[in-house]
Amino acid sequence: MQENASEEVVGIKNLEAEFDADLAKELAQAFLDDTSGILDKLRSALAICDQEALRSSAHMLKGCSRALQAHQCERASAQLEDNARDGNFDRAAESLPLVVVAYGEAEAFLRKYLES
């Protein structure tokens, strides 16, 4: 993984500069803990067309992503949240794969970061 590409996934260097490496690692672990199972929640909510569950889960992921500067995941989650708020389940179904990819990239980066 190239460092520049990694920085696009999660702004970890910004977090280390703003706080310190220990706190950045705590934030990374909190993100992983707080979002554990989020993709299953999103898929389940979409499968049963539960508008509020879909919207609130996407909103939670958006906020967690914003805090960690995981901008791609934040943008994808915001789009999914908007689709859910509008009750547009067809668009939400199109948005969910983008969330899955962005979240997967952020999660993989953070796990590798925490191992270092």
- Kindly report the CATH number assigned to the domain that includes residue 101: 1.20.120
Domain that holds residue 63: 3-115
Buried/exposed 72-111: b ≥16 CB within 10 Å, e otherwise: bbbbbbbbbbbbbeeeebeebeebbebbeebbebbbebbe
- 69-112: pLDDT as tens digits: 999 999 999 999 999 999 999 999 999 999 999 999 999 999 99
CA distances from 115 to 28, 73, 99, 110 (A): 11, 21, 24, 9
The H or E element containing residue 1 is none
Q: pLDDT exceeding 90 applies to what percent of the chain?
A: 90
Please state the domain count of the chain.
Answer: 1
d(C-alpha 59, C-alpha 105), whole Å: 19
